[in-house]
Every structure is written in C-alpha cells, then in structure tokens.
C-alpha cells in the first residue's frame, strides 16, 4: 500500500512540475532504488546522488533547480538537481538530449562535469532578484528566501540558477554553504589540505612535478640547469624557518662566495628582506636572478653592490649582470588586478541586451581595459631578458618587493629558453618555484588586494 501511495505521489508531483515550468519536462525514471527528497511538507523525487571523490561529502542540495544559459533573458533553461559538497558545486540536469558530437564541444576533465565547478574557482556570488543583482560576501546578511543565484568563476565561467520551483529554503541553504566553503578564512580549511594523498603518487606526471619544498628539489634543479657554473652557486638553509624572510622559500641558492651571516646582513637592506637569489641558469652559465628594491630608508648601496659583485663572480667569464628595473616598464600588481577585473566584466555580459549593446564597440572597450597592453609589456621584457641570457649575460630582475612581476617575467623567460618547462610536469613546477612564498601568504595577499 505504501508503494502505491508513493507512486501516486510521484505521478501527481510530476504533473505539477510540468504545468509549473511549461516547456520543461522533469524526467526521472521510476525506480524503487531512487531516493526521495523531503523539503518542508512536500516530497519530491530526487535524482541519485552524484559520484563523489575520496573525502568528498554532500553538505546541501535539492531538486527542481533551473540553470539559465549565459547571455539569456532567463525565461528558460535546464532543470535538474543541485549539490554543494566540501569540494565543488554540482548541477545534475534531468534533460540532456545532446548528440555525442555536441558533447565533444565542451571541455571536460576527470574531476568536473560541464555544469560543475570547484569551490575555489568561484570568484564572486550574486543574489538575483528580477533584473537586479547584489554581490554577497561571507558576512553579508541573507534574505529569508533567495530565488536566484549567479556564480562568476575565476575562469570567466558564469552559472545562473533559479530556485523558484525548488523546495523552500533551498536557495538560502545553497547560498550559505557556498559563502562559507568557497571563501574559507584559513587556507588549511581547503579540501585539498585535508584529503591529499599521504603516499607518493603513482601517476608519472604527478611524480615529475617538483614542489621545491625539499632541499633535494633545489639541488636537482641546480644540477639540471647549471652544468657550467654549478660549483659557483650553493644552497643556503638560512631561511629554514622563514626567519630571514617570510616571503622566500626555505632553501635559497646564492653565490658560493656569500656566507650565511653576510646574506642575513644584506637582506636587511632590501624590501621584505629579499636579497638577490638564484632562479634558473642557462647551459652557457648565465643565470636568472630575482631581487627586491632597497628599503627607502637605505641610502648606502654597499650591500646591493656586494651581492651583485658576487653574482658577477658566478659567471664563467666573470661577466657583469644586466639589471632589469621592472617597475619602470611593467604595471604594478594592483594595475594588473584592476585591468583583469575590467576584462572580466567585459567578457561576462548579463543579458542579450547588454551583449548587443557592447558588441559594436567591443574592441575599443577591450583596448580600454589595458589588459592587452600589460600582456604585451610582460612579453616584450621577457623576450629581451631571454635573449640576453641566451647570449651569455646574467639577468637580474629587480622590482619593489621582488615577488610579483618578477615571478611573471622569470617564468616566461624559462618557458622561452627551457624545453623542460614546456612539458606538463615542468610547467606545473613553475608555480611553486616562481611564487617563492608560503601558500598562505599568497592567498592572504590576493584576498586583501581584492578587498582594497
């Protein structure tokens, strides 16, 4: 008898769904193995829960959610169930009538489907109410009922949901969960920290990725790239507990003629305590070095000149280095962020009307973002530096704090000159080598800059 009541409830609910959404059909196969979702005083049939990764758990979710296509008037879309886990947001559509050829047009990977997004990829969350939208922050007060939600991702992907036909409070539950888990107060709360593999990976590509967190990582990199002058550089443990600089790695490669006490003394003259340190070497013996500017209060350049002289001694032919003052030719990190924000706004119009309005002058608006200009400047400086290194001249990249645009240029120079960095493992190794600071400071700095 209970089974008959469930079947009657199912057919009645399915008919109501068809009438309420007009052109959308909620197709859910009738099977005794399906789970039911209880929302308030009504029971609706829910699709099976999605496949989860190791350590992934569903925090909240529910059925009868609409996903609107981008640049639309939000009058129709795909129907399905939404799930928020401690790792990602998943939208599981009820209707997918695409051909295999159409499915191939969408980029996929092993972790995310077409309508899924990693929580750390979410850049901003907006509450949608008619034609209006309001950006939500982790501490923003929420309305009693949220009918629409828009997620703007860091890769410019936009997901817009409607909860008009969903169970009561589903919109608010999803919003609260996203605000809490997509923007954690500490980076240790991220999914990847709790559920990383303790055992060495068996995947060849992952094993080949160098994180530059151990002494042997830097020793191997020095031996790989610096065959001619490897004996003139050495590994220093002076920053083992980040006592020298909190924005430098534990292990530093410095000229062999510099002792640790002299390195510590010199670091006090530079911003963020970042003296010149080795980044990469060409087979011809020329090196790529990064350093910060001197402190504004330091008028005596003795320490800087001593470090540069020791770098000159590391060259096979004792050739003096070429210093690139990046602050003169490249935008600041704040300018880059503002430019990217303008570019992102241009590339994610809200409606067809907005899209058509900006289409006629898209290129002029693109030019006004200055993004292409900034990219061109970085490439121009990188090509010039790469050419000098290739010709046998050591290049020193100097900027205000020595950890922003110098990381960009040094990575580009390596991509130009080093075939290994153009491999999958080599390219993934560029980030931990180039950032040169604890991951927590990277997240905190980017978050603070975004708020300002």
Q: In this structure, what CATH number is given to the domain that contains residue 59?
A: 2.30.29.30
How far is residue 124's CA from residue 137's CA, in Å, rounded to a whole number?
Answer: 8
Provide the 3-class DSSP secondary structure of residue 234.
strand
pLDDT of residue 3: 45
Where does a domain end: 194, 212, 227?
194
Q: How far apart are CA 427 and CA 433, in angstroms?
A: 10
End-to-end CA distance of the chain: give it in Å, rounded: 62
Statement to judge: residues 377 and 234 lie in one domain: yes
- pLDDT score of 186: 81
Residue 10: count of CB within 10 angstroms of its CB: 17
Inter-residue contact 245 to 239 (CB < 8 Å): yes
Which residues lie across from 158 on neighbouring strands? 152
Select from 123, 122, 105, 127 the least CA-distant residue to 114: 105
Residue 451 is predicted with a pLDDT of 43
Which letter does DSSP use for residue 182 in this model? S
| Same domain membership, residue 212 and residue 187 | no
In a domain, 117, yes or no: yes
Alpha helices in 190-332 (DSSP H): 191-194, 204-208, 215-225, 260-267, 302-313, 326-329
- Let me know whether 234 and 172 are in one domain: no
Query: CA 20 to CA 9: how far, in whole Å?
Result: 16
Task: List the 395-399 sheet strands across, edge first.
Answer: 277-281, 287-292, 395-399, 322-325
Residues 261, 217 share a domain: yes
Write down the residue that tokens 């905190």 correspond to.
444
Range of the domain at 74: 50-194
pLDDT value at residue 94: 77
Q: Do 246 and 305 have their domain in common?
A: yes
CA-closest candidate to residue 420, choices 142, 199, 118, 208: 208
188 with 210, same domain: the answer is: no
Residues of the chain with pLDDT under 70: 1-48, 96-110, 196-206, 433-452
Residues 173 and 274 in one domain: no
Question: Would you say residue 405 lies in a domain?
Answer: yes
Helices (H), 314-351: 326-329, 333-347
Q: Which of 288, 322, 284 is nearest to 410 (CA)?
A: 288
174 in any annotated domain = yes
DSSP designation for 119: G
Q: Looking at residue 213, what is its pLDDT?
A: 84
Asked if 131 and 265 sit in the same domain, the reply is no
Strands 78-85 and 58-68: antiparallel
Whether residues 230 and 122 share a domain: the answer is: no
What b/e string do you get for 152-166 counting C-beta neighbours within 10 Å, with b at 16 or more? bbeeeebbbbbbebb
Specify whether 54 is located in the same domain as 164. Answer: yes
pLDDT confidence of residue 96:
66
**The pTM of the whole model exceeds 0.95:** no
Two tokens, residue 399: 């900027």
pLDDT at residue 351, rounded to an integer: 76
**Domain end call among 194, 221, 248:** 194
Contact in structure between 117 and 89 (CB atoms under 8 Å): yes
Q: Which of 194, 212, 233 is the last residue of a domain?
A: 194
pLDDT given for residue 61 in this prediction: 94
Whether residue 168 is found in the same domain as residue 260:
no
Q: Using CA of residue 281, residue 421, residue 214, residue 292, what is the dihedral sign?
A: positive
Q: In sequence order, what are the beta bridge partners of 90?
A: 83, 116
To which residue do tokens 């289409």 refer?
359
Q: Are residues 147 and 209 in the same domain?
A: no
């Amino acid at each position: 008898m209970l089974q008959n009541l469930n079947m009657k409830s199912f057919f009645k609910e399915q008919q109501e769904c068809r009438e309420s959404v007009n052109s959308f059909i909620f197709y859910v196969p009738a099977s005794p193995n399906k789970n039911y979702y209880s929302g308030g005083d009504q029971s609706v049939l829910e699709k099976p829960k999605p496949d989860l990764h190791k350590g992934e758990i569903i925090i909240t979710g529910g059925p009868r959610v609409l996903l609107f296509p981008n640049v639309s008037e939000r009058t129709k879309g795909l129907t399905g169930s939404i799930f928020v886990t401690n790792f990602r947001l998943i939208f599981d559509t009820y209707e997918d009538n695409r051909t295999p050829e159409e499915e191939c047009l969408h980029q996929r990977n092993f972790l995310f489907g077409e309508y899924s997004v990693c929580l750390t990829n979410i850049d901003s969350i907006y509450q949608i109410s008619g034609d209006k939208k309001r950006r939500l922050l982790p501490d923003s007060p929420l309305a009693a009922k949220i009918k629409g939600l828009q997620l703007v991702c860091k890769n410019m992907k936009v997901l817009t949901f409607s909860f008009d036909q969903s169970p009561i409070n589903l919109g608010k539950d999803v919003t609260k969960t996203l605000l809490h888990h997509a923007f954690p107060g500490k980076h240790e709360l991220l999914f990847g920290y709790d559920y990383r593999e303790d055992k060495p990976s068996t995947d060849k590509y992952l094993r080949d990725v160098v994180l530059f967190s151990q002494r042997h990582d830097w020793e191997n990199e020095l031996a790989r790239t610096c065959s001619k002058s490897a004996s003139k550089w050495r590994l220093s443990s002076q920053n083992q507990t980040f006592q020298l600089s909190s924005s430098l790695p534990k292990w530093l490669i410095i000229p062999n003629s510099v002792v640790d006490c002299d390195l510590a003394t010199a670091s006090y003259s530079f911003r963020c305590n970042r003296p010149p340190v080795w980044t990469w070497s060409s087979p011809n013996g020329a090196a790529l070095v990064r350093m910060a500017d001197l402190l504004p209060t330091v008028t005596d350049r003795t320490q800087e000149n001593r470090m540069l002289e020791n770098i000159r001694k590391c060259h096979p032919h004792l050739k003096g280095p070429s210093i690139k003052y990046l602050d003169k030719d490249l935008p600041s990190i704040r300018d880059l962020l503002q430019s990217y924000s303008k570019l992102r706004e241009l590339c994610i119009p809200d409606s067809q009307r907005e899209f058509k309005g900006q289409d006629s002058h898209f290129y002029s608006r693109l030019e006004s973002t200055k993004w292409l200009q900034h990219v061109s400047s970085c490439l121009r400086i990188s090509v010039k530096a790469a050419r000098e290194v290739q010709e046998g001249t050591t290049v020193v990249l100097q900027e205000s704090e020595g950890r922003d645009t110098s990381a960009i240029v040094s990575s580009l120079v390596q991509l130009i000159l080093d075939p290994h960095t153009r491999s999958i493992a080599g390219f993934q190794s560029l980030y931990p080598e180039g950032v040169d600071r604890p991951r927590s400071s990277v997240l905190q700095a980017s978050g603070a800059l975004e708020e300002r």
